[in-house]
A and B are shown apart, each in its own frame.
Chain A
Amino acid sequence: MGLLDYFISSRSKGSANLAKERLQILVAHDRAARDQPSYLPQLQQEILAVIRKYVDVDLSAVSVNYEQEDSHEVLELNIVLPDTAQNQA
């Protein structure tokens, strides 16, 4: 069994690599969220509510992105309107 383990473990290397890759993405995401102003989720909700008065869009159709650079901050809003928007108006 010891011998078998020896060969198997040398072949199936890499769950640690997988852990590291997942963590790097997750931590970067967590950190970005940490620096965001706390009103951002509510802002997203309210913008969505306004849009919904006119067009039927899903929550996932609105993305709010916040980036901070040295001298300025960028608040980016991306709204995907459905194809049928004209029919509903």
Chain B
Amino acid sequence: MARIIVITSGKGGVGKTTTSAALAMGLAQQGKRTVVIDFDVGLRNLDLIMGCERRVVYDFINVINGEANLNQALIRDKRCDHLYVLPASQTRDKDALTKEGVDRVLTELSEGYDFIVCDSPAGIEHGANMAMYFADDAVVVTNPEVSSVRDSDRMLGILSSRSRRAENGEEPISEYLLLTRYDPERVANGEMLSVDDVQEILSLKLLGVVPESKAVLNASNAGVPVILDRESDAGQAYNDMVSRYLGEDVPHRFLNPEKKGFLSRLFKG
């Protein structure tokens, strides 16, 4: 039985797809059989971030409609043996994502994989609901910024009321906070909400803090999940996140500004 993880946020542009790609790659690198699914029907982007956009033949909706089987639609990652991508459909309308269809695909995938990572679209519409409905775990991606934190709180309400686990009266979805685009320097200057501020408001278990980093755009430009950039702060932060998700006790890094010399501060380093 696979564990189903939804990457959600409510607000757009906070880093859901970047996180989905990083988490899926990280889990696969630890030897877990992993599939990552793009639920953003009509606006698929996961394939671009994963760098497999030219290998898409069939998609999630084709499988749901029975026009292709799972093996035809799954794209095997060339960098990691245990990782597969199920892309979203670019053209069709969102209602094709039926609850029965999604259930069928997830059930079939559950037999052959350890983890299923669901990359949710922004918003609280159908696609987002389908991505979270079947989840066992939820990673709420949040920027240290008012609208993002507020939307995350709304998602928590939806996660606790509109999921399969909630409807069946099972143990609720385990919810984790991932803070992204964190700028320790601005936090130190009192210009940005701190990890503690956000945690005080959302009271979630903190899975990780990913610093604002040039590496993220560089990685998406190249179609390489940023977790593979071991040199970068964001790549390392995502690596820590994966270890933490798998139960390791890893201290949080990148929470404090880099120490700068007096001169570089004087001349705006």
* Cα distance, A16 to B267, chains bound together (Å): 25
B207 located at the interface, meaning its Cβ lies under 8 Å from any Cβ of chain A in the complex = no
> Dominant SS at the B interface?
helix
Q: Is the CB of A1 within 8 A of B146?
A: no
Closest Cβ–Cβ distance, residue A37 to chain B (whole Å): 13
Do the beta carbons of A16 and B194 come within 8 Å of each other? Answer: yes
Q: Do the beta carbons of A1 and B268 come within 8 Å of each other?
A: yes
Whether B246 is near chain A, meaning CB under 8 Å from some CB there, is no
CA distance A26 to B201 in the complex (A): 10
Which residues on the A side are within 8 Å of B200 (C-beta)?
A: 20
Task: Give the CA-CA distance A26 to B153 in the complex, in Å.
Answer: 10
Q: Judging by beta carbons under 8 Å apart, are B191 and A16 in contact?
A: yes
Bound Cα distance from A45 to B157, whole angstroms: 26
Structural contact, B190 and A13, CB atoms closer than 8 A:
yes
Interface residues contributed by chain A, number (CB under 8 Å): 22
- Decide if B5 is an interface residue (CB 8 Å cutoff): no
CB atoms of B146 and A16 under 8 A apart: no
Contact B265 A27 (CB under 8 A): no
Chain B: number of interface residues, binned into ranges: 20 to 34
- The reply to whether B266 and A20 contact each other, CB–CB distance below 8 Å, is no
Are B150 and A2 closer than 8 Å at their CB atoms? no
On whether the beta carbons of B153 and A19 are closer than 8 Å, the reply is no
Tell me which residues across on chain A come within 8 A of B189, comparing CB atoms. 9-10, 13
Interface bits B179-206 vs A (CB < 8 Å: 1, else 0):
0000000010111111001001100000
Asked whether, in the complex, the Cβ of B266 is within 8 Å of the Cβ of A3, the reply is: yes
Chain B residue contacts of A13, Cβ below 8 A: 189-190
Interface CB pairs A-B, < 8 A, 24: A2-B265, A2-B266, A2-B269, A6-B266, A9-B189, A9-B191, A13-B189, A13-B190, A15-B191, A16-B190, A16-B192, A16-B193, A16-B194, A19-B145, A20-B201, A22-B146, A23-B146, A23-B149, A23-B150, A23-B193, A23-B201, A24-B201, A31-B153, A34-B157
- Residues of A in contact with B (beta carbons under 8 Å apart): 1-3, 5-6, 9-10, 13-17, 19-20, 22-24, 26-27, 30-31, 34
